[in-house]
Structure 1
C-alpha cells in the first residue's frame, strides 16, 4: 500500500468448530492481513453465522478488536452463494450455508457498503476459517 493511501474497509467472516479459541481466530486474521500487507485497523467488522451466537472465541475476538460481531442466518447468506470461491457440502449439512466464512464476510460488506467483493477467499488454521471481503 502506498503511504498516505486510505485503508479499505475490510470485513472478516469466520467459521469455526465449537470451542475454537480467540487466539486461533486472531492468528488467522493477522496471517490474512499480513498476506495483503494491511494492518489490523483495516478491519471494520467481523461476522459469522447465527449458529455461532454462543461461541466464546468469536465474542472474545470482537471485544479484543473493539469491532462489532454481526451474525447472519442461512437465509440472509443464501444470496451470496454465487460469489463463493467453493462450496462445502459439509458446511451446508451443519449450517444450511455453503461457505460460512466467505458468505458472512460478503454479507457484512454488503450490509455496510451496499456492494461486496470477496478480497481473500477462505483460509484455514486448525479449527478456524476466515475470508475477507470489501466493497466493490
Structure 2
C-alpha cells in the first residue's frame, strides 16, 4: 500500500514546524511514521528549505507536481482555499499533492486517509492507494 503525504507551507517555514505537524497528524490518525512511502508538494515548493530538510530528515523522496497536475483534484478536496488558488493555481496543495503522488506511485485511484490538517505555517494531508 502506498501512503503519500502532501505538504504545503508558507515561504521560509521551519523544518521543525513541518515535522511537528507531520507527527501530530500521523499520531491523530493512528498511522506509523515508518509506513509513509513518500512526500509531495507543488513545484513552487521544490526548493523550499524546510520541505527539503524534512525529506532528508525522514529519508523520504520528495515529488513535486505543477498546478495543472494538482488542479484536477479540486472536486475531491475536503477544503477549497481561494487563498491557495490565488498563490498557486490550485485549491489545496497538501490534499492535491497527496492524491497525485499516491495515484502516480500506485497506478490506481487514491483516497484521502487524513484530510487537510493546518498549522500556523503549513498544511498536511495523507492519501493512500493500492
TM-score w.r.t. the length of structure 1 is 0.91
Residue in 1 that maps onto 2:126: 132
Residue in 2 that maps onto 1:90: 83
Asked whether 1:19 is paired with 2:38, we answer no
Match of 1:54, SS state, is coil
Unaligned 5+ runs, structure 2: none
Runs of 4+, deviation exceeding 3 Å: none
The correspondence of residues 43-54 of structure 1 with structure 2, limited to 5 A, is 43-54=36-47
**Aligned partners of 1:38, 1:122: CA distance in 2, in Å?**
15
Match of 1:121, SS state, is strand
What root-mean-square deviation, in Å, do the aligned CA atoms of Structure 1 and Structure 2 show?
Answer: 1.1
Match of 1:120, SS state, is strand
Larger Rg: 1
Residue in 1 that maps onto 2:105: 112
TM-score w.r.t. the length of structure 2 is 0.95
Match of 1:98, SS state, is coil
Q: How far 1:9 moved relative to its partner? A: 3.2
**Aligned partners of 2:10, 2:59: CA distance in 1, in Å?**
23
Number of residue pairs aligned between Structure 1 and Structure 2: 129
**Aligned partners of 2:25, 2:65: CA distance in 1, in Å?**
22
Unaligned 5+ runs, structure 1: 1-7
